[in-house]
Amino acid sequence: MGERAGRRDRTIAALHGKFFNRAASLGIFGSHHKRPLRSRQVPRRRHHSKVADKGREGPLEQRSGFPEENETSMSDTASPEVTLAAVGLSRRYGNNLAVDDVSMELKRGEIVGLLGPNGAGKTTAMKMITGNLAPSAGSVNVCGIDLIDKPTAAKAKIGYLPEIPPLYKELRVDEYLRLAGRLHRLPKSALAEAVQRAKHRAGLSDMGQRLIGSLSKGYQQRVGIAQAIIHDPDVVILDEPTVGLDPNQIREIRSLIRELGDQHSVILSTHILPEVEAICDRVQILHRGKVVFADAIAGLRAFRGGHSLEVSLRRPPQLEQLAQAVQPAQVEQVSDGVFRVIAAQGQDPTDQLLRASLERDWGLYQLSPAQASVEEVFVHLTRQDEADASVAGNPSSETAA
Ligand code: ADP
C-alpha cells in the first residue's frame, strides 16, 4: 500500500513539473509570461469597423502613464464597469492576417459571444486577449491594467479555458484544482477554500476524489471551467466550450456559463449561432479575421429575421426571373414554389415581390419573415464585407456610382 502511495506521489510530483512546463509554454498562468509583446511599437488607434463602432464611444485604451509592473499594486484606474478593453488587435502568420484590427469591450456581468466560422480568427484573438500570443498590433487592458506593461497583474484577472483544456487525467479533481490554484499563485492558506468554491460553482462538489480521466467529457469540461475560475478572475474566456459534448451536457455547460456571467465578464467563442443567442448579451462576428457584425443579441435576432423572407407562389417563375424582380436581394429555392429571398443590407424586397407577383400573375399566397441560418448570416455579412472592400479598393467605382 505504502509503496503504491509513494509511486503515486512520485507520479504526481512528475506531473507537477510537466504541468508547470506545459502551462508555461501555453502561457496559461500569469506568473510564467516573460515575453515582451511586440505591439508596444504599434501606434494605437481606434477600432475602425464601421459596424463594430455602432453606438460606441471614444477610445478604450488607457496605456500611457502606467508605472513599471508592480504585482502588488492594483491601483490602476479605468472605468469600473469595463473589465476588458482590447483595441485594434491584429496578428499575422506569415502573409496570413489571421486577426485584422479587432476591438472588443467587456463590462462586468456581461457575456459576449465571439462567433465565426472555422478559421475566422477566434482562437487567435482569444490567445492575444489572454496574453498567450503576442499581437502584431493593438493593446489589451484588463480591469485598467495593461497586458503588455504588466502581464502578471493583468493575467491574474483572466481565467482561460482553451479549446483543448489543459487537464491531467491521472490527477484527482481536488489535486488538479489545487495545482491550478498554486500556478495562479494563490497563497497556500487560501487554496482549500478556492478549490471548494470553484468546485461548487462548476457543479463538482461531490467529485473532488474522482480521477479526471474517469469523468465524462461534460464533467471534464466542468473541471476545465473550474480551473479557469479558481483564482476568481474578473474575466473568463472560454474557447468552444461545448464542442464534442452531447445535448444534455451542452445544456448543462450553457447554464453554467450563464451563471458565471452573473459574477464575471465572459467571452465565449463558438461557431454555433443558437449558442450565442441562448447565452450571450452581445455578439461579435468575425470573418477572415475582421469584425463584420457587432450588436446586442436583440440586434442579431432582428438581423437574422429582417434580412430573409420566405415566399410561396402558386405559379412560380424561373428562379432567375424571380431573382431579377427582387434585385439586389438573393433568391434560393426552398422547395416547389417556395423561395427564400435574402435582402441586401438596408433593403426590404417586400414591395418588389408583391408588385412583381401581381403584374406577372405568380399567385403569391404566403410571405413571411424567415430566420436566417448561421450560414446565411455569414454569407450575407461576407458579401457586404467583400462589396465594401471592392469599393474601398477601387476608387473608380466610387466616381462611377
Ligand atoms: P478560429 O478559431 O476562428 O477557427 P483561428 O484563430 O484558429 O480561427 O485561425 C485563424 C487563421 O489563422 C486561420 O487561417 C489559421 O489557419 C491561421 N492560424 C492559426 N494558428 C496558426 C499558426 N500557429 N500558424 C499559422 N497559421 C495559423
Which DSSP category does 113 fall into?
E
Find the 119 Cα to ligand 1 centroid distance in Å.
Answer: 6
Find the 95 Cα to ligand 1 centroid distance in Å.
Answer: 12
Cell of 216: 465524462
State the 10-residue block means of pLDDT for the chain, 401 residues long. Answer: 50 47 40 31 31 32 34 44 94 95 94 91 95 95 94 94 90 96 93 95 93 94 95 95 89 91 92 89 93 89 76 96 92 92 83 95 91 71 62 42 26
In short, whether 77's Cβ falls inside 6 Å of ligand 1 is no
- Beta-bridged to residue 368, according to DSSP, are 310
Cell of 206: 461531490
**Coil, strand or helix: which one is 232?**
coil
| Nearest to 79, CA basis, from 64, 66, 62, 67 | 62
Cell of 70: 508592480
d(CA 32, CA 125): 20
In short, whether 117's Cβ falls inside 6 Å of ligand 1 is no
Cell of 291: 469584425
In short, whether 119's Cβ falls inside 6 Å of ligand 1 is yes
In short, whether 124's Cβ falls inside 6 Å of ligand 1 is yes
* Ligand 1 atom 23, closest CA: 93
Order of strands, edge to edge, in the sheet holding 111-115?
158-161, 235-239, 265-270, 111-115, 282-287, 290-296
* Ligand 1 atom 16, closest CA: 119
Q: Give the Cβ contact number of residue 108 at 10 Å.
A: 16
pLDDT of residue 271: 87
First to last CA, the chain: 84
For 69-96, b/e burial (b = at least 16 CB within 10 A) is: eeeeeeebebeeebbbbbbbbbbeeeee
d(CA 221, CA 164): 10
Per-residue CA distances from 209 to 172, 176, 330 (Å): 6, 10, 57
In short, whether 162's Cβ falls inside 6 Å of ligand 1 is no
In short, whether 214's Cβ falls inside 6 Å of ligand 1 is no
Residues 64 and 58 sit within 8 Å (Cβ to Cβ): no
Task: Give the atom of ligand 1 at the shortest distance from the alpha carbon of 116.
Answer: 3
Cell of 48: 475602425
**Phi, psi (degrees; rounded to nearest 5) at 278:** -80, -30
Find the 112 Cα to ligand 1 centroid distance in Å.
Answer: 21
Beta strand pairing call for 111-115 and 282-287 = parallel
CA angle 188, 192, 194 (to 5 degrees): 95
- Those residues whose C-beta lies under 8 Å from the C-beta of residue 78, and which sit 6 or more positions away, are 62, 85, 141, 143, 144
User: Which residue is listed with cell 491574474?
Assistant: 156
In short, whether 138's Cβ falls inside 6 Å of ligand 1 is no
pLDDT of residue 211: 97
d(CA 165, CA 197): 20
In short, whether 357's Cβ falls inside 6 Å of ligand 1 is no
Beta strand pairing call for 290-296 and 338-342 = unpaired
pLDDT of residue 386: 61
For 383-400, b/e burial (b = at least 16 CB within 10 A) is: ebbeeeeeeeeeeeeeee
Residues 221 and 165 sit within 8 Å (Cβ to Cβ): yes
Find the 98 Cα to ligand 1 centroid distance in Å.
Answer: 6
For 323-360, b/e burial (b = at least 16 CB within 10 A) is: bebbeebbbeeeeebebbbbbbeeeebeebbeebbeee
Residues 365 and 313 sit within 8 Å (Cβ to Cβ): yes
* Ligand 1 atom 10, closest CA: 121
d(CA 6, CA 108): 46
Per-residue CA distances from 76 to 57, 70, 83 (Å): 21, 11, 12
pLDDT of residue 230: 96
For residue 385, what is the enclosing H or E element?
helix 374-393
In short, whether 96's Cβ falls inside 6 Å of ligand 1 is yes
In short, whether 88's Cβ falls inside 6 Å of ligand 1 is no
- Beta-bridged to residue 342, according to DSSP, are 308, 330
